[in-house]
Amino acid sequence: MDRYLMIAIGGAAGAIARYQLAAMVQARIPVGFPLGTFVVNITGCLVMGVVMTLLTERLVVHPNWRFLIPIGFIGAYTTFSTFELETFRAITEGSWVIGLGNIAASVVAGYLALWGGVIAARAF
C-alpha cells in the first residue's frame, strides 16, 4: 500500500483518538488546567517510545507499519511525541546542546509564534 495512504489512514484514526480522549478527560475532570491535552501528550510519548522501540529493535515488519503507526497515527494523535523523540535521540547521541536547545527553543518560539498569530488575527 502506498505510504501516503498509510499515513492518511493512521492520521485520521490518530486525530479522532486525540479528540475523543482529550474531550473525555476534560469532561470528567473540568479543571482550569488543560488536563485532556496533557493526557494526550503524555500517552502519545509513552506509545511513541513503545512503538519505535518495537519497530526498530524487536520486530521485523513491513515498512508500511512505520508510516501507519508512528508517522500517521501517533503523529496526528500528538506531535508532542515526535518532538520528545527527536529530543531524546539528540540527547542519547550525546548532543545535549541540541536536545536542550530544542526544548527551550520549541517552547519559547512556539509560545511567541502563537502570541504573534493571535495579535495578527486580532489586527485584521
**Predicted confidence (pLDDT) per residue in 52-70, tens digit:** 999 988 889 999 999 999 9
H or E, element range at 95: none
Of 1, 15, 2, nearest in space to 72 by CA: 15
Give the CA distances from residue 103 to residues 9, 48, 87, 96, 98, in Å, rounded to whole numbers and listed in that order. Answer: 30, 18, 7, 11, 9
Asked if the model's pLDDT at residue 112 lies above 80, the reply is yes
What pTM value is reported for the model?
A: 0.76
Residue 90: the pLDDT is: 92
Q: Cell numbers of 76, please?
A: 496526528
What are the structural domain ranges in the chain? Answer: 3-78
